[in-house]
């Protein structure tokens, strides 16, 4: 698994924009910027939709005020689902919704988790990280179900 001090691997995400689907590479998103990235097992799942993402929306301004250029969320879901999640949660325009549809980023970072027991196959573990110019400087991975280590309130303290 990737750890603090390492560079994020090159990966390409799909994201939904008002003009339609767009590819964004890790360089596009992270080069020269300070970004808070959090990962979730899936859009619209109860823990992600009711707790994890709302925490980042509530703390959106406070996180940006700490010198963060962007907040992004990633899941192993397709970009149509991520786009719908952005609209449904009011996160559109505030948080960058990144689709790692084939799980390439999940596998390259080692943050992938087998959620077959839930009928969900390969997904991302629940995590948060601070990425400075493409390098992970802080990484929090949830050790068990729940939103504690990767919650917005914790990353706010770590910024
Ligand atoms: C959740 O509620 O966030 C969740 C449900 C099943 C598997 C993983 C996450």
**Domain range spanning residue 76?**
12-158
* Ligand 1 binding pocket mutation candidate from 89, 122, 145 (most atoms within 8 A of CB): 145
Q: Is 24 in the pocket of ligand 1 (CB under 6 A)?
A: no
Q: Note the pLDDT of residue 125.
A: 98
The tokens for 3 are 């750890």
Q: Is residue 4 part of a domain?
A: no
Cα dihedral 63→46→76→69 (10° resolution): -10
Q: Note the pLDDT of residue 56.
A: 98
Q: Which CATH number is 51's domain given?
A: 3.40.30.10
3-state DSSP: the chain helix, strand, coil percent, rounded to 5? 30, 30, 40
Task: Respond yes or no: is residue 48 known to be catalytic.
Answer: yes
Q: Note the pLDDT of residue 40.
A: 98
Q: Is residue 26 part of a domain?
A: yes
Q: Note the pLDDT of residue 71.
A: 98
Q: Is residue 7 part of a domain?
A: no
Q: Is residue 44 part of a domain?
A: yes
Q: How many domains are contained in the chain?
A: 1
Q: Note the pLDDT of residue 80.
A: 97
| Residues with pLDDT less than 50, the chain | none
Q: Is 9 in the pocket of ligand 1 (CB under 6 A)?
A: no
Could you read off the pLDDT of 84-95 as tens digits, one per residue? Answer: 999 999 999 999
């Amino acid at each position: 698994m990737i750890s603090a001090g390492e560079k994020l691997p090159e990966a390409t995400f799909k994201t939904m924009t008002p003009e339609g689907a767009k590819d964004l590479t890790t360089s596009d998103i992270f080069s020269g910027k300070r970004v808070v990235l959090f990962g979730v097992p899936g859009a619209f799942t109860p823990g992600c939709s009711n707790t994890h993402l709302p925490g980042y929306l509530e703390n959106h301004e406070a996180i940006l005020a700490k010198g963060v250029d962007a907040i992004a969320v990633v899941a192993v879901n397709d970009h149509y689902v991520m786009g719908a999640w952005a609209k449904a949660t009011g996160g559109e325009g505030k948080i960058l919704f990144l689709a790692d549809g084939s799980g390439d980023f999940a596998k390259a970072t080692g943050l992938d988790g087998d959620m077959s027991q839930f009928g969900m196959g390969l997904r991302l573990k629940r995590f948060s990280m601070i990425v400075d110019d493409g390098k992970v400087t802080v990484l929090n991975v949830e050790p068990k179900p729940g939103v504690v280590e990767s919650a917005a309130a914790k990353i706010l303290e770590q910024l």
